[in-house]
Amino acid sequence: MKVIVDLCVVPIGVGVHLAPYIAACETVLTDAGLKIQLHPNGTAIEGEWGPVFAAIEACHQAVHAMGAPRIYTTVKANIRTDRDQTLEDKVASVEALLQQGPERGQ
């Protein structure tokens, strides 16, 4: 089953500079062969359910291995069975409405 996930991994007990932990997680996701988009508050991930959630677990293992004693994580999952949808599709549909001008969405 294909899934699009929004993942936010926050190491706790490591100070305020979190970029090294996020970079480690991004590396795990990339090495897993998943399509990802880093954004200011997390990472969008596209792929099959099993590999996506296995990679999320691997992210946690990597961040703990770096010394984080605790991690707070949010995962939002979007699953469609009626059609395939990509990260780009989701963004493009909103951008198309924005191009229509003030009467958009009516």
Contact by Cβ (8 Å): 88, 39: no
Domain boundaries, the chain: 2-81
pTM reported for the whole predicted model = 0.87
pLDDT in tens, 24-56: 999 999 999 999 999 999 999 999 999 999 999
- Residues forming a β-bridge with 47: 3
Q: What CATH class is the domain 2-81?
A: alpha beta
Torsion, Cα 71 5 50 12, to 10 degrees, reads 0
Any idea which residue has 């979007």 for tokens? 78
What is the number of alpha carbons within 13 Å of residue 61 lying toward its C-beta? 9
pLDDT in tens, 68-103: 999 999 999 999 999 888 999 889 988 999 998 776
